[in-house]
Structure 1
Amino acid sequence: MINYVPNKAYIDPKCLKLERGKQIVEKLEKLNVPLEYTKKVEIKGDSPAEIYMNAKNTVLVTVNSQKKLAPCRPSADYQFSLTSSCPGNCEYCYLQTTQGEKPYIKIFANVEEILQVIDDYIEENKPNITTFECASITDPIGLEHLTGSLGECIEYFGGSDYGRLRLVTKFADVDSLLNLKHNKHTRFRFSINAKYVIQNFEHKTASFEERMEAVRKIAEAGYPIGFIVAPIMIFDNWQQQYNELFERLKGALGNYQEQISFELIQHRFTATAKELIQSRFKNTKLDMEEQNRQLKWGPYGKFKYVYKKEQSIDIKNYITKLINTNFNNSNIEYFT
């Protein structure tokens, strides 16, 4: 796939004092991206769909001044951000509602300060291992060609005795990360799914085939590997397509011998998300019929519509069987 290039970039003047900020600006200039030197972002459009797409094609290069990290269970102890929002346009994504009406992309240029905050948390928790997730509100691989920040983080954690990094991606541009000194301290997780889901709902992300090739490369580079299978959906021939997914995944991993983690998440939506998704994707094929679902109380104070109990059990049992059949070194961390 072609790497993401925004239609416009806003540059917070603070970033011009930072080496990383200067490097990002130089890359944007080489790509002929129009630049405006202000931190005030303006997103216009005549409809929710147009505003959304214009936002997704807009970048703000700024700083992350967060000093207190939020917990990130069950993925990790804490989460931090090198960027926010994502170049992908996945119709079902929870960021549809959490990042507001204008989800433009932020790139944080103060990587050294971010790593210092992380270091403080690691020091405070020694001699225990502290784990950090860097992809809760973004996809860092999708923006790494503009930032180079993830590579620096991977090498930082590679040299840390008590810190560990976790990330997840739907993108495949991993070549710049293959020869880093990661020391197996970064768990590289891929968001994978059946071809039907990728082709219909995960717009502007890596294809099924591209993800399989990226999995092969990361496995050969010796990273700890995991997979988020999400959102698991029921559709015509869903069982056959998920069977194909795990067979292909087994082939991509080759002789990979280390433990492989799996996180399983069934498709869900809230009433707010449904309304927003339908306003942005007029012809969506997402199944969001409430009568086909049951309500589940979410951890953030909202009801979610998930598959009915019998279907949910079928999904869990079938996907678990496929994993256990194809991988004798697997660990299913959770199903939700």
Structure 2
Amino acid sequence: MALGDYIKTIYVNGAAPGISAERLNRNEDKTAELDTAVAAHISDSIYQAAGGTATAITLTIGETLVNGFPITFIASANNNAAATTINSKPLYKPNTTITPVLIAGKAYTVWYSSSGNCFFIKASAEGDVVAANVLAGKTFSNDNDTGLTGTMPNNGAVSKSLPINGSYTIPEGYHNGSGKVSQSITSKAAATYNPSTSTQTIAAGQYLSGAQTIAAVTGTTTADKVDSGYTFSSASGINLTGTSTKKRWAYADVWLGSHNVAPPFTVTGLGFKPSTILVLCETTINSDAYQITSEYSTGIYQSVATLARYKSVTYGDSYTSYQAIIPTWSVGAGTFSFSAGSYGFTSVKYWAFE
């Protein structure tokens, strides 16, 4: 006989009730049984404190488990989403095999599934959002709990000016879309640099908005046209070394003035040390014009200079005279000097050979 299944007494107007002691006793037994069932149901409906451990929970269940049977409890410890059982039966999120998060002190309602022989937690909210996904100070709910508070920082509008090749780590959190990352760099337009004898530098710390062109070295000189040991650059290459062994020479016709210039006569900047020198000098003595000729050769330690008159106010142009003079020579790298006694010169022609 089912719970609360009483034997009904039928009453008829004007007739004595057909009540027997058996019926009264049976109905009283059913009343007591019903009181016990109600007490058990009330007990199962109260949020009882969970026993056992965080992941092996024990609950007092006064009724027989049937499909959909609910039970409520207050978690005694955090399970940290680890596999959890209630009275040895697994606990899952609704229609999954995922263990829910239980937090100590929180009240939960679960229901029994006879097909899975497990408990499912009653869904109070859904979602996988966590505190870090919600703006700080704002509340939200997810699969695990309700009334949670977000922790995402509110950065507002963040702006940053970067140096050249600099970087900026964007902070975690919310940005309102008004911030910006910018750069302020000096720019340099296209330019061409021609070869120079001095260093040309493209300054650092600027943005090259146009091509920077280094012009090629030009020129037709080749190594065989440059004296051996000297370096040069041309279309043939950069910093090449000459291979020519040709001897160099120099000539000049130097006018010194209408009056004699005191000796010595000095030449510089030849580019080589002469081994042979010829000079033809003009000088004036008592209004007469004279020529002095001399030759210098390496290895000849003393040469003779000849003083010859070729114009004479007193004797006429046809009258000549000659005189030998011991000259003085000084020869060095790229230079030489010459004197013939104390005679000064009005002009000098020279031929110098390497």
Q: Which of the pair has the greater relative contact order for Cα pairs under 8 Å at 6+ separation?
A: 1
Structure (1 or 2) with the larger CA radius of gyration:
2
For normalisation by structure 1, the TM-score amounts to: 0.17
**Larger relative strand fraction:** 2
Bigger share in helix: 1
